[in-house]
């Protein structure tokens, strides 16, 4: 799965600071139904979920991943990996 690959690569890549990762996801009830978590809040990257202290976020709810100013994944951009799923 592309989302899992992106996150694992950033987490375990020697020159990347995982704290600079931001993950936008569909969060029903949040303002605009969108939540954002920082890489430092990710406790585990599972097969289908991102786990934080208080949440399990399914990959299908992830809409955007950034590292610093770079957009690595955007579900609604046609040239983004896995944008059609």
Task: Specify if 15 maps to a domain.
Answer: yes
Per-residue pLDDT of the chain (85 residues; tens, 9 = 90+): 599 999 999 999 878 899 999 999 999 988 899 999 999 999 999 999 999 999 999 999 999 999 999 999 999 887 766 554 4
Residue 45's alpha-carbon distances to 29, 68, 78, 80, in angstroms, are 24, 20, 25, 20
Task: Specify if 30 maps to a domain.
Answer: yes
Q: Which domain holds residue 40?
A: 2-74
Task: Specify if 79 maps to a domain.
Answer: no
Could you tell me the pTM of the whole model? 0.87
What the block records as the tokens of 11 is 């987490």
How many structural domains are present in the chain? Answer: 1
């Amino acid at each position: 799965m592309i989302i899992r690959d992106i996150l694992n690569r950033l987490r375990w890549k020697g020159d990347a600071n995982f704290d600079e990762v931001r993950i936008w996801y569909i969060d029903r009830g949040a303002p605009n139904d969108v939540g954002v978590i920082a890489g430092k809040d990710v406790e585990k990257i599972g097969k289908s979920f991102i786990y934080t202290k208080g949440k399990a976020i399914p990959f299908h709810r992830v809409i955007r991943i950034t590292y610093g100013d770079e957009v690595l994944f955007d579900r609604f951009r046609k040239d983004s990996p896995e944008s059609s799923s």
